[in-house]
């Protein structure tokens, strides 16, 4: 007997992340390769009791703390199961089948995947050959059928950022056609500027943040939506009741209470990136110093794919290369502490030689 399958889901092509990555040095998915200090993790784990695990998650304490930390109101904040899930809710809530979604290309892969799953029409705006993005092209693609415009700021994987002026031009153009602008700030802190104040000034703007990058909680799945109370209300309607798990909320609260820890994470990233870039410079590498926690590097003697394979097999190091497209000559390496970056450069220079 035949059964019904949603045609959009049937046709969606997925590439799932590599498994068994624990035994590798992970520079491939923009996580913190080392994670939070063990003493901090141990102290938070002590709070996890059988009763805590038996109780459904209660996000309100975290939301209040986050709002205070960000100097915004609790009505401006919603937690999700990673910002991945926030993307899905935004698409489900503010678009319908055949609506158009504008993103630059390349960008974070889940934007295209969610378009496919929900039957939305993805309008990719391509980068120029010199890896710059022409904002006029983004503006010109915002036509009447567009319901969502995505700006990943800084973008992953290219690492460019948008000026306030250009973002406001895009927001105003989107408003004319009744579209939402989704600003994904997953890489905030590595890039210190934020557009939250701009977002809260307009009715049609949403900002996404994640605890997976600087805050090093990718395993816990904690995403944050920041917007005006009307948009937050609609997204809360769309969201599952027990969306963000208690362990994520607990770790999130304890991180926000510990500014010293946050400062150390930021400092460690800055020093790590400085070290990596100075080593690449010394060795005359072509690289793109992205605004996120990653750098794009052009190998000298082998293809990025070959470097990826050899680093994985011989050095137990994971990086990310691109089979085709504008980044095919580069691989992306995530930034960690100076110690991690030294481990990476020692291995990479040893592999990329005649």
Stretch that binds ligand PLP, among 7-15, 77-85, 166-174, 249-257 (CB under 6 A): 77-85
Query: How far, in whole angstroms, is CA 227 from its chain's centroid?
Result: 18
* 152 Rama class: left (phi>0) / alpha (psi -120 to 50) / beta: beta
Distance from the first to the final alpha carbon of the chain: 60
Q: Is residue 114 part of the contact set for ligand PLP (CB under 6 A)?
A: no
Distance (Å, whole) CA 81 – CA 38 = 24
12 vs 172, beta carbon nearer ligand PLP? 12
**SS3 label, residue 305:** helix
* 211 backbone dihedrals φ, ψ, rounded to 5°: -95, 10
**SS3 label, residue 195:** coil
Distance (Å, whole) CA 107 – CA 114 = 13
156 vs 246, beta carbon nearer ligand PLP? 156
Length of the chain: 354
90 vs 174, beta carbon nearer ligand PLP? 90
Going from the C-alpha of 106 to that of each of 56, 98, 114, the distances in angstroms are 39, 21, 15
Q: Is residue 152 part of the contact set for ligand PLP (CB under 6 A)?
A: yes
Q: Is residue 276 part of the contact set for ligand PLP (CB under 6 A)?
A: no
In DSSP notation, 278-310 reads HHHHHTT-EEE--SSSEEEEE-SSS-HHHHHHH
Rounded to 5°, angle at Cα 266 from 73 and 186: 55
Least distance (Å) between residue 66 CB and ligand PLP: 14
Q: Is residue 83 part of the contact set for ligand PLP (CB under 6 A)?
A: yes
291 vs 352, beta carbon nearer ligand PLP? 291
Q: Could you say which of 170, 196, 218, 247 contacts ligand PLP (CB under 6 A)?
A: 218
Least distance (Å) between residue 80 CB and ligand PLP: 8
184 vs 269, beta carbon nearer ligand PLP? 184
Give me the 5-44 binding string for ligand PLP, x by CB under 6 A, dash otherwise. -------------------------x--------------
Stretch that binds ligand PLP, among 78-86, 250-258, 295-303, 310-318 (CB under 6 A): 78-86
Q: Is residue 103 part of the contact set for ligand PLP (CB under 6 A)?
A: no
The residues of the shown chain that bind ligand PLP, judged by CB under 6 A, are 30, 82-84, 108, 152, 156, 184, 186, 210, 212, 218, 223
């Amino acid at each position: 007997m035949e059964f019904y399958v949603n045609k959009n889901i049937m046709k969606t092509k997925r590439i799932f992340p590599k498994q068994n990555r624990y035994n590798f040095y992970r520079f491939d998915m923009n996580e913190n390769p080392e994670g939070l200090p063990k003493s901090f993790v141990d102290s938070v784990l002590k709070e996890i009791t059988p009763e805590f695990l038996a109780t459904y998650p209660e996000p309100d304490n975290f939301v209040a703390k986050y709002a205070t930390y960000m100097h915004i109101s609790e009505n401006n904040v919603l937690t999700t199961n990673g910002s991945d899930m926030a993307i899905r809710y935004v698409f489900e809530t503010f678009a319908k089948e055949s609506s158009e979604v504008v993103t630059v290309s390349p960008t974070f892969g889940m934007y295209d995947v969610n378009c496919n799953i929900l039957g939305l029409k993805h309008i990719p705006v391509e980068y120029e050959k010199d890896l710059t993005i022409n904002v006029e092209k983004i503006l010109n693609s915002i036509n009447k059928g567009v319901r969502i415009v995505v700006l990943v700021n800084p973008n992953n994987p290219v690492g460019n950022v948008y000026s306030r002026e250009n973002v406001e031009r895009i927001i105003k153009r989107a408003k004319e056609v009744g579209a939402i602008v989704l600003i994904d700030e997953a890489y905030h802190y590595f890039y210190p500027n934020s557009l939250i104040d701009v977002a809260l000034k307009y009715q049609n703007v949403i900002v996404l943040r994640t605890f997976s990058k600087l805050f090093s909680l990718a395993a816990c799945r904690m995403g944050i939506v920041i917007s005006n109370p009307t948009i937050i209300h609609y997204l809360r309607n769309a969201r599952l009741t027990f969306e963000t798990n208690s362990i994520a909320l607990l770790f999130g609260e304890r991180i926000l209470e510990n500014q010293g820890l946050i400062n150390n994470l930021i400092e460690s990233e800055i020093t790590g990136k400085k070290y990596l870039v100075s080593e690449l410079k010394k060795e005359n590498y072509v690289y793109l110093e992205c605004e996120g926690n990653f750098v794009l590097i052009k190998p000298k003697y082998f293809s990025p794919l070959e470097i990826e394979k050899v680093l994985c097999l011989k050095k137990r190091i994971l990086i990310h290369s691109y089979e085709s497209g504008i980044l095919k000559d580069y691989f992306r390496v995530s930034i960690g502490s100076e110690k991690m970056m030294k481990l990476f450069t020692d291995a990479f220079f040893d592999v990329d030689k005649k």
